[in-house]
Structure 1
Amino acid sequence: MPQTMDWRKVALFVCVLSILPLVCFCATSFIPVDNYLIDCGSNATTLVGNRNFTADNLSKNFLSTPQDVLASTSLKSTSSSGDDSPLYQTARVFTRSSKYTFPINHQGRHWIRLYFFPFTYQQYNLSSASFSVTTQNNVLISNNNFSVQKIPVMKEYSLSVTSNTLVITFTPFNNSIAFVNAIEVVSMPDDLISDDAVSLDPSAQFSGLVVQALETVFRVNMGGPTVSSRNDTLQRTWVPDQSFLVQSNFASSFSNIGAVQYVDGGPTVNSAPPSVYGTLNEMNSSSDPRSIFNVTWQFDVEPGFQYLVRLHFCDIVSKGLNELYFDVYVDSFLAAKDLDLSILGNNVLGAPYYKDLVTPSTANNKLRVSIGPSGLNSNYNNAILNGLEIMKMNNSMGSLSAGTAAAANNSGSSSKNVGMIVGVVLGALGAVVLAGVLFVICRKRRRLSQEQSKTWIPLSINDGITSHTMGSKYSNGTTISATSNYEYRVPFLAVQEATNNFDESWVIGVGGFGKVYKGELSDGTKVAVKRGNPRSQQGLAEFRTEIEMLSQFRHRHLVSLIGYCDEKNEMILIYEYMEKGTLKGHLYGLGFPSLSWKERLEICIGSARGLHYLHTGYAKAVIHRDVKSANILLDENLMAKVADFGLSKTGPEIDQTHVSTAVKGSFGYLDPEYFRRQQLTEKSDVYSFGVVLFEVLCARPVIDPSLPREMVNLAEWAMKWHKKGQLEQIIDPTLAGKIRPDSLRKFEETAEKCLADYGVDRPSMGDVLWNLEYALQLQEAVVQGDPEENSTNMIGELSPQVNNFNNHDPSASGVVQLDVPSTVDDLSGVSMSRVFSQLVKSEGR
């Protein structure tokens, strides 16, 4: 009897395991708050799968049109995905501008799906329709012509709706018509599109996806069949990838849907269903497992737009953890290096993972995605891809159509005539009223501008004591206490005056936050004015962080904050002006003379002092999180100052070793341990600074996709030559023969230590600073004793905590005695506990 019960328990356990994925799948299904399904031109409700599409003829409260034209056809309407939907059998035809208005109960991202199937109905030939489709903020289609379409088309958009209604307007062009077969307006999960993505442009970081309008261009299931909307929790369709493969014989498909394990904190079935994560295409290297090649897919895209590329991965082929490593490329960009899915999936084999990438604005009509083996495991060369989504991002005009400008100039003649008649009748009266209003406004603004621009005075620093003097038409330039909310606030009109009304010719830089303008205050002080991009939601967090960080400390090697402006929904930061620009510009930019080795060492030392102060000079360590040559600025004397604290993070508590946080930073400089574990420490800055050191030595970008594969990543390439003992072979040619060997050896040893795989093996920034100062002394003076021997042992002798060399006496080995570098200078604290009272509203930022 006990044996029988054991078998029953086993059977029950197996049964539970078999239905668990289905239970999880159902439990995480998304129920949209807004769910409008409209069958246009129909007289009855249409059932599609398990969803009811309401006839717009029965829901006229949504539709506003000057003429009822309901079209129908008996033609078979099989789409490219094999969808023979009844939705394509009827259409609503518009002879003039018409609109659907949908009440929005839950603001946020919504799907908009528009169904089109051009057929002929009576005198209306839908194939020749020419029209636009717009919402309140975006152009979805402009001057579209369906004459080339012989099959049904469903166009899918993802929009952020921030109002209580969504209005979709159809406008015919040039006496043509507009039409639509069906419409969906459906709420999306709030977390489906996050605000951040990895920019493929190595010099920039992308944030602000939340406010972007997106058009789904491709949604592909690698290695598997079509996944219809009925088998996706969000009613998406995934098409097979065979037609996109450049060399189909390079790829081998694999399926193991049962191996997919959704884990807490990772993607869910709403990200992609098991039928996508459970199939893949991998390298077809069965004949030779050590062969090296890439599997590539190619897609047709519209030039002039940026694209959000979402790559879906799930390791269902490996037998154990940490077995599969591979690289991913988008066009010529290295999008992911040494990808280890087992770590990214919380050490669960078969855990889904996806990566969001944003392309630069493309001039090409082709986009390529490639996967290939990593050099970390030469005995098991493989790479996989499970799914792919490519979404077009709206341009600066809020349009997803390249024909927007042309469409605006080709509106229907009837509309032009009506506008002309109205203009003639009301023009004279309107002009008089408008002129009067403008006169009053201009006079008032001119008077306000004069009052404010004459009285604003920047903060001043006297004898190490910081006093903040901010004038306005109310304060008249009197000194305000250090705890005042207004100590750093600058009137918007004063910023306009300083930048010549944001003259584009005064732009000196562009970053993820926005443009940077050169400016001059009314007292002659030169400043750098960083104006936030109002479309970036992430910008508000960076804006606040920058003010908070730079107002708490002051150091000669940190760029000083002069003020900020948050009027008129602006996010403007004003800094001291750095005459010589960025370190990056001097290393491989245009128009700057080459830096000497001494100048480079002094710049590195200054930067290290600034970072060392961040790590140790305040109550809590501050981790910069975006250390790179573009964020090291130089004044007129080439003194280095660390800038851009928008991503900075306060370090861990005393009883903690790290801060757990989402990975942010710049590609090529990012600490691989931080990337793998999402645990941030000061040693993440040390790693990034190590990359900067090699950048200073070699004077080339940290990521250069135009170079041969082994040279693309500077850190890897430099470490390879360092291990050969031949680093001098790849240094900046302008430095050839000008660096003392012992100074170079000390410098490269320091950089090598910074790039250790694990943070515990890296030196502190204080150790880095000490060794760089020693490298400078080795360059400038003859050291007593054997310089070669001293150079080799210096890290251990001067910084025992690096290698635990505790028994060395520097004075006994002929080593030059160095003064301990100054770590805390120009320190002043400013309370900013109330400075954000005016920054809590994010509308329009």
Structure 2
Amino acid sequence: MAIFKSIFLPFLFLFLPFLSADFVPSDIYLLSCGSSSNSSFFNRIFVGDSLKPASDFLAAGKSVVVSDRNPPQDSPSLYHTARVFTRVSSYKFNIKKNGTHLLRFHLSPFSSTGFALHSANFTISANGVFLSSISHVNDSVIKEFMVRIDTNVLEIEFQPASSSGFGFANAIEVFSAPKELITDNGAKLVDSNGGREYYKLTSQILETKYRINVGGPKLTPFNDTLWRTWVPDEPYLALKSAAKLAATFHTPNYEAGGASREVAPDIVYMTARQMNKDHSISGAKFNLTWNFPLDSNGVNHLVRLHFCDIVSSALNQLYFNVYINGYPAYRDLDLSSFSLQLSTPFYIDFIVDSGSSGDIQISVGPSDLSSSLRYNAILNGAEIMEMVNAKDMFTETEKRKRNLWVIVGPVVGGFIGLCLIVAAILAFGCKRRKKPKPRRAESAGWTSVQAYGGGSSDSKLSRGSTLASFGPNGYHSLKIPFSEIQSATNNFDKSLIIGSGGFGMVYKGVLRDNIKVAVKRGVPGSRQGLPEFHTEIAILSKIRHHHLVSLVGYCEEQSEMILVYEYMEKGPLKKQLYGSVVSPLSWKQRLEICIGAARGLHYLHTGFAQGIIHRDIKSTNILLDENYVAKVADFGLSRSGPRLDETHVSTGVKGSFGYLDPEYFRRQQLTDKSDVYSFGVVLFEVLCARPAVDPLLAREQVNLAEWALHWQRKGMLEKIVDPHLVGQINPNSLKKYGETAEKCLADYGIDRPTMGDVLWNLEYVLQLQIGPSNEPSEPVDIDDSDFPTSTAIHPSNMRRHSDEGTDNFSDISTTKVFSQLLTNDGR
């Protein structure tokens, strides 16, 4: 550690000025109070408020200009003058752009004729809303607030606490903040209940209490795009010997991350603390803890934690837990799952009560998912902000729930009491019965499927979904002996490998009844793919659809995790688009494949009461049989959809880079519209026959979605189609196809179509391609309002409830629904 501090950090400091780019706010006012000249402060010019035009900002009240006659040599000139307010006084600033603004008040007391600034006692408010009460300022401080301004004028008011009192300020900063700095959604309440989500966070006034660069040096406004100061974490670290420094010379990968340089500067993400396993007992697990004292208790705070995995050598190596005030705030955090890349900056917001002690304690420690050789935990930065005007920010659904419990609480309590009495009677009656001997799990390495319950905390099919139930016989009817799978794959012959993924290798096999199968074998003995393994079984054992890959069986013997599927002769769609294929797919074939995949997804979203969200739609998860019929595959990341009284499912971000819904990435709020976004990327992938992300291309072409949207909005989509399709596509068909894909890729889920809408439009695109004589009489726009009024044909009316069963919702019904778009010479 000493070597690191003496060599690395000073060297890193040489680069600090070059690691931050200038941020240009829409509104910016920098005032040097009580000064008749300009002052420089960290390369910024503060204008003296005694000079025109800055003096015009002083709107009302009575104030006196004072100066420090004997300022310290190391004191900045900004702090050599002050304006003293002996009556209620205010500044007014014109606001060009509404939104969150940063307000900073520099307070550096000194003694001057008639005033000892350290004895000031006053309050500060903004547009009539209280910000802070200030008294007995002994040292130089900067009071920083984040305030949403929705008016054309900002009035900052200083009010002395008494008729003989006064207030003062050395400098004032007012400037607009970038949109991504504070967002409305995504902050989670951390308490004994947990799980509640706060909204409208931008309406809260936030006062900065701590801004910590964990494992790194002090950062001044010179090194921060928003001119903030970050202090080292060492004074707050509970046990210094438990932590060691981590650092990298590589700048963070902001392109794939959930943060920007405005959220935190590069150096915050380039340095960190990690577990010091060198000074611990081998295999011992412990937490790193930081304690932050606060001068108020029972007050809500926004705690923002910054992360960037600079300690791992590969993805999915680092799993750890986050605790705040002893409560679990985030379990099994896998930073690589958010971007599928290392060194990607990311932050998480929590709402925390400072508690009776008035302190906030932050801890990170290894997860149970961690390998014994690789367990670790890191933290790059932390910010703590007091919520000055904390309002009730629960969602409307939660408000209704709370009001409902006021009414039904006593009824429920009585019912529970009655149930306990009945349970006691039944228990007494059954006491003499012989208890059945529990069955042993067949897997020595991990919990069996029957015992596991169908999903992990991240893949909870048990969120009210009928898919999580096992039935009278569980999944045993699908179990295949390991010996049979060995025989089918010639003992996992490497020559039979037909694919690979995060779960493991995929082999071609033939079962004893000559059925061709695809055998997906997880890494033996590993728990990493366990949740995905159980989720896949939970879904595919309960659903059947012509456009979903069928599960033949599974094996859980000898620490194996093996899934056996129907064999898809033509493999993944990606291979047919830009793999080593002799004959490229025709435009008609591609449309039929897209329609098939859309049907499968539409069934997932609407075939059950809550629906199922796939969460990993991409060209490698759309498989083709020998007739090029498309089937959606790989349900390891799937989730049941929101309940009827919910708008989304709050969950950690999972998916594949290039296909990931940006709104889901930002807010960690999953809806079926996240699948729609991913499918939009697939649509352009089908049209252009190129990967979703190709880092070898020119910068503007790396991301397929952005590149294709650029040409679509220019009305020149034909410029980027697969060369094999040139001359094949009817212009009207291409136009409607491009519009459909563009709608799928809308920034916000509410603006995207449903999969039923997408399916409808793709059928129409196919008819436009087949010929004008078969076109519907009127074009179909993707907005719901423009659909025909008949409830029998619009796909949004095809929703089935769970009590109807899955067998009633087959591919035949979907075909009939769209029969009016089919032609004799069609599919």
What TM-score results when the alignment is normalised by the length of structure 2? 0.50
TM-score by length of 1: 0.49
